[in-house]
Structure 1
Amino acid sequence: MTLVHKAAKQLHDAPLRAPGPVAVPALPHPASRPRAKEQPAVVILNMYYSGLGIARDLAGRGLLVVGLSAKREAYGNFTRCCEVRTAPDSGAQPEQLRAYLLEARNELEGAVVFPTRDLDVLFLDRYRLDLEPYYRLALPPTEVLERVLDKYALAQVAQGAGVPVPRSCVVNSEKDLARVADEVGFPCVGKPVSSVHWRQGGGWEKVGGRKAFLAQDAEELRAEFQRVSAAHPSLLIQEWIPGSTRQIVVMGGYLDENAEPLGYFTARKVVQSPDDFGTGCIVQTEEIPEIVPLTRRLWRALGYQGMSEVEYKQDPRTGEFKLIEINTRHWDQHTLGAACGVNLSWIAYQHVSGSKTEPVRPQIRRAKWIAEDALFFYALRGIYHRRVRLGALRRELIGPRVYGIFAWQDPMPLLRYALSTMLPTLSRRALSKLLRRRKEP
């Protein structure tokens, strides 16, 4: 059984969980252009940053766009750029979501389905044979997913293609940890072999809500392994690449059946939270020509087709850009492409629906994608602990901006999210700090 199918089975068997100026063109209302009957509909799985971005990318093109959301708090639920419907979650309730989509096949037959999380990708791949007769699934072939979702297998493919990677090994027991000093060295990074290993069956809570951890020595590595192995016994250990967030760069694009990009752009992380292994809070478009040939070589070696974001970190000791990971679906900052004249959602829709699609060359114009909710809490924590200077952070926000949640033409997602989630969270944290201070002697 392959990694992809093992992970999908584990998801199925897991217990159910309770469910500034904008740099892109103005967003038309989705109903502002009549829908052409021959145009397939669009189904978006989940309405967070990526899903909301897809809806905005496709707004006003005469398409029926349906966002499926299992979470009441998802800010994309309140967008005017698509029709949002409540549906089962692909990770917690895969069988129910399969049944939901099959029941909707008469209305949505031929629709292009966009995943926005790794859990969505695994769900669509698991039920590919059931769903493909009725839907167009926007995801890479199974054999590509098997090589990409397994981070160690991906590193081996990259090495074979001449793409630099951090020194790596996989450990499955405490006994295996003895190999790390020789094969990888310290400090080192520990992460799941596949990201979903820490996202299922309560794993996220067991690992402390982290994507990865940094171990300075063998003792710290052993302690961390004992904790995270409760979520999954296999652990990928990689060389730690020193340096700041700004050394993390990405190339994102959409590829045809010949592994040739129909559109792509490059960008650099500016701020992420947490600092070492976090999600980008500020990401800016930038010409990074060094990673273009590396990425195209890797895509060809994988036989890649579909949406892809490839992340690297530049090693200050050698100047090499070393591969970190690949996302096999839309990612949070994909809407930066529109600022470069590369609307990846529209390119993907055209290709998957069978329309003739000509390659689009990026016109890199400096624009910044901002996760306003994550950045808000990052700034509050940093200022409180005196790790962030407000003036320096404000300078990072200068220039054309694209927001993860807010858009002038579609303001309700941020307004509703601020009232229902951000303000209550801030109040709870402030009250908690106040109560702790009162208890102090």
Structure 2
Amino acid sequence: MRHEISAVVLDLSATGIGIVRSLKEKGIKVYAFDIKGKYEIGKTRHATCGICPNPVSEKEKLLHFLTNFGKSFNNKPVLYAGSDDFVHFISKHRSILFRYYRFLLPVHSLVESVLDKTLTYELAIKHNIPCPKTLAIHDETQLEQIINEVTFPCILKPVQSADFRKRIDHNLYKKAIMIEQASELRKEYLIYRPFGELMLQELVPGDEECIYSVKTLFDEQMNLTGMWMNQKIHQFPPVFGSSAMVISKRDEEVIQKAVSFLSELKFKGLAITEFKRDQRDGELKFIEINARIGLTQRLSTAVGVNLAYLYYLLLTDQNPSPVTSQKEGVKWVYLVRDFISFVQNRRNGKMTIANWLKGLSGKKVEALFAWNDPLPFIRSFISHLRNLWWRR
């Protein structure tokens, strides 16, 4: 395989670090950029790293930055986005960025639909995919009109998570809020509404282990080039959060639903499709789609389906053979996040230290730690513990 074409990764979180290392191991030259705070934590020796303008608040500056950087290459590099903000930016400015970079995304209207949760669920309903009942709340008047229709407990969450997260103080931000009764809904709505549009969603019963994530790569003609999946074990924060520990586990029903849905949507490029199994009746309920590589890219490599590398081969016209079988039972753990989740679960009487230590047993990979590149792990660990201390 040829590796002379460079790669550019926009993200220096654990997601971006996973992409960088997957490519560096193949001998590919990698450049990685992120906003200042994330750069300072995530800069890695496996890439030439730098600070770039914010994709949300400095769009024109970022476009200028990427355009100028792209002009420095004789052969267009492969462009990766490690966050939804960068995905949206690349998609919106694709006509210009295509001149200087190689990337593959579905049509822009589809990218916008999966970033807006209400539009995402409209897509699911249109394609007869079971999903939690969802209601958008535009203002207090509408809230009062629908409040008697709401079944409690339910979930209050932002319509556009990335945009919401940028506006709100990080100490106040929650991915989703459990609501037990109408008075609590009115109170929480008033607190969070100033930061973005909100929606109500039916609570699908089941713990973290009921959540499955399918990672895919479709080429331009919608041929499946790469696919693997995992089951969640722990989340950060607990109940509603991103992955803290997962295990590679294949479930044919989940795969069939994800691949079929993406095929109908013509969702070319990279995708993460998430489902949760409803403990009431065992039915799989659709949760979300992300148009990018996920947080667990290091596990992708460990199970034998290196989506970051397959994407590189695809975009450099090397026609990779499809890879859709995986190693089973390999764990991925984001240790500092898993530890913080354990602390919170222990306080609530939901986990003991023996349970947590047992969960760390077996074959596994860590989200950030590497002997030949330890600083991203160390800086992230310190940052997470510092934030935990300030929240006490």
Establish whether TM, by shorter chain, passes 0.5: yes
Instruction: Quote the residue 2:241 is aligned against.
Output: 278
- Cα distance in 1 for partners of 2:195, 2:58 equals 19
1:259 is displaced (CA, Å) by 3.1
Does structure 2 conserve the Cα–Cα contact (< 8 Å) formed by 1:75 and 1:405?
no
Is this contact kept in 2: 1:253–1:264, CA < 8 A?
yes
The aligned runs of 1:22-101 (5 Å cut-off) are 39-72=4-37, 74=39, 77-101=42-66
Q: Distance in 1 between matches of 2:385 and 2:193?
A: 35
Q: Which amino acid aligns with 1:227?
A: I
1:391 aligns with 2:354: yes
1:289-325 per-position Cα deviation (integer Å, ceiling 9, x unaligned) = 2111111121022110111111111111111110111
Which residue is 2:214 aligned to?
251
Asked whether the 8 Å contact 1:68–1:84 carries over to 2, the reply is: yes
Matches within 5 A, 1:310-389: 310-383=273-346, 386-389=349-352
Which whole-Å CA distance do the structure 1 matches of 2:251 and 2:125 have between them? 21
Aligned counterpart, 1:294:
257
Q: CA deviation at 1:416?
A: 4.4
Aligned pairs, number: 391
Of 62-71 and 311-320, the range deviating more from structure 2: 62-71
Q: 1:178 & 1:72 partners in 2: Cα distance?
A: 40
Distance change >3 Å, CA 270–CA 217, structure 1 → 2: same
Deviation at 1:358, TM superposition (A): 2.0
Secondary structure of 2:50's match? strand
Alpha-carbon separation, structure 2, partners of 1:314 and 1:183: 24
Unaligned runs of 5+ in 2: none
Q: Is contact 2:156-2:198 (8 Å) kept?
A: yes
- Out of 143, 152, 158, the residue aligned to residue 118 of structure 2 is 152
Q: How many angstroms does 1:350 deviate by?
A: 1.5
Which one of the candidate residues 169, 194, 199 is aligned to 1:230? 194
Unmatched 5+ residue regions in structure 1? 1-34, 434-441
Partners of 1:197 and 1:84 in 2: how far apart? 25
Secondary structure of the equivalent of 1:249?
A: strand
Aligned counterpart, 2:127: 161
Displacement of 1:54: 0.3
Measure the CA separation in 1 of the matches of 2:387 and 2:98.
41
| Distance in 1 (alpha carbons) for counterparts of 2:160 and 2:233 | 26
Cα displacement (A) at 1:138: 4.0
Residue 229 of structure 1 aligns to a residue whose secondary structure is: helix
- Aligned to 1:214, what secondary structure does the other structure show? strand
- Displacement of 1:228 after TM fit? 1.5
Question: In the alignment, which residue of structure 2 is the partner of 1:406?
Answer: 369
Q: Which amino acid aligns with 1:295?
A: A
Identity among equivalent pairs (%): 28
For 1:97 and 1:326, the matched residues in 2 are separated by 25
Please, what is the CA RMSD of the aligned residues?
2.4
Inter-partner Cα distance in structure 2 for 1:403 and 1:229 = 36
For 2:109 and 2:274, locate their aligned partners in 1 and report how far apart those are by CA, in whole Å.
21
Deviation at 1:424, TM superposition (A): 5.3
Contact map agreement 1:254 1:262 (CA 8 A) in 2: yes
Partner of 1:267: 230
User: Measured at CA, do residues 149 and 183 of structure 1 come closer, stay the same or move farther in structure 2, by a change above 3 Å?
Assistant: farther
Whole-Å Cα distance in 2 between the matches of residues 174 and 276 of structure 1?
A: 27
> Is 1:219 the counterpart of 2:168 in the alignment?
no
Distance 1:95 1:281 in 2: 34
2:276 partner letter? K
> Counterpart amino acid of 1:421?
S
